[in-house]
Structure 1
Amino acid sequence: MVIERVLSGAPQRVWPDHLRGLAACTMPASPEVVPVLRRFSRTVARGWQLPDRFDEALSVIVTELVTNVVLHSDSPWVSLAIDVRGSALTVEVMDGGSWKDRGAPRREPLDDQVACGRGLRLVDAYATRTVVRRVEAGTSVTAVIALTTPQEQICPVVRPALGALV
């Protein structure tokens, strides 16, 4: 049996389950590295021929996570790894910094008009799962993007295989 995704009545190619790819880059943590790593991620996505609709999600996630490293970690380096396996695109940003004690938790809600402080909320908006954890070297943030959309429906299409129905 062959499975195709149907979106607005037109069959869409299923992202092959066997597809795998990994691209990684480590650079000094500085403001200049943010657009460099954003371009790196876009180049990787195009090389893997990811559908265009994932370009914005990948760009926003990489920009926000790398910016957080540059602004908040005191790390001398930032590492970006992009991994595609089947229907999941995983972005991991690591740094060698240490967590700063905030003292008291933030009590007031974030103001939507403020230019800063929304990085992880933006990442969460594009990712299906986000994980922040302390690691031996510093901090790791992983965001997973599903390479499907909620509007897609899975529609089984039966095709003969070597003269037999599957």
Structure 2
Amino acid sequence: MTSIDAAVSPVRPPRCGCAARIRTIGCVLAAETSAVPVLRRFARRVVRQWHLSDSVEEAVGLIVTELAANAVRHSGSDDLALRMSCGDGRLVLHVQDSGRWRPSEPPACPEEEACSGRGLDLVRAYAARCTVLPTAEGTRVTAELPLGEPLRCPIDADPVVGPDGLAV
């Protein structure tokens, strides 16, 4: 069973479309696989309630999914926290766990390797800045998205061509 703790706290007027104040909200869940889609839906709902763009909502959904899945898979943490802050022309996402890094199981076949290990690269493709801070209390990953300009989906970029001449 998961529980959600959320709070919205005004601080000072922002310079973004976040309705006259910095907004912060958080959600803490048990670090279980089922928490990943719950956090994604939570984050996307917040983006809509804060009247941010569709491109921000899409980016937030992907970022939260990747960071939460990494924490569940690799941290061994009992809990998983998401904090979102909007203000000063940016949206900042923090995903925090209280565990220690543990390697994932090796893939059963080489084809599986092609489908994993790219989560932080995807986050960095959407975020203006992404930092990973491992501490004795766990790991906090922070992703910042600018709000003054449309976000460009990395899929819209020119395709990367592999050595065989096929788009990757």
Tell me the TM-score normalised to structure 1 length.
0.71
Q: Which residue of 2 aligns with 1:138?
A: 138
CA distance in 2, matches of 1:79, 1:101: 21
Tell whether the 8 Å contact from 1:29 to 1:78 is kept in structure 2 after alignment. Answer: yes
SS of 1:42's equivalent? Answer: helix
Q: CA deviation at 1:20?
A: 1.0
| Letter in structure 1 aligned against 2:39 | L
CA distance in 2, matches of 1:81, 1:69: 14
CA distance in 2, matches of 1:71, 1:20: 32
Q: CA deviation at 1:16?
A: 4.7
CA distance in 1, matches of 2:51, 2:42: 14
SS of 1:117's equivalent? Answer: coil
Tell whether the 8 Å contact from 2:129 to 2:145 is kept in structure 1 after alignment. Answer: yes
CA distance in 1, matches of 2:54, 2:147: 11
Q: Which ranges of 4 or more aligned residues in structure 1 deviate by more than 6 Å? A: none
Q: CA deviation at 1:150?
A: 7.0
| Letter in structure 2 aligned against 1:80 | L
SS of 2:52's equivalent? Answer: coil
Q: Which residue of 2 aligns with 1:92?
A: 94
CA distance in 2, matches of 1:53, 1:135: 32
CA distance in 1, matches of 2:71, 2:125: 19
Tell whether the 8 Å contact from 2:55 to 2:150 is kept in structure 1 after alignment. Answer: no
| Letter in structure 2 aligned against 1:55 | E
Q: CA deviation at 1:54?
A: 0.7
Q: Which residue of 2 aligns with 1:122?
A: 122
1:41-120 paired onto structure 2 within 5 Å: 41-100=43-102, 114-120=114-120
CA distance in 2, matches of 1:150, 1:57: 11
Q: CA deviation at 1:134?
A: 1.6
Q: Which residue of 2 aligns with 1:33?
A: 35
Structure 1 runs not aligned, ≥5 long: 1-13, 103-110, 152-166
Tell whether the 8 Å contact from 1:94 to 1:139 is kept in structure 2 after alignment. Answer: yes
Q: Would the alpha carbon gap of residues 32 and 128 (structure 1) be closer, same or farther in structure 2, given more than 3 Å must change?
A: same
Give the % identical residues.
40
Tell me the TM-score normalised to structure 2 length.
0.70
- Structure in which a larger fraction of residues adopt strand: 1
Tell whether the 8 Å contact from 1:16 to 1:86 is kept in structure 2 after alignment. Answer: no
| Letter in structure 2 aligned against 1:64 | E
Q: CA deviation at 1:135?
A: 2.8
Structure 2 runs not aligned, ≥5 long: 1-14, 105-110, 152-168
In the alignment, structure 1 residue 15 sits paired with structure 2 residue 42? no
CA distance in 1, matches of 2:17, 2:69: 32
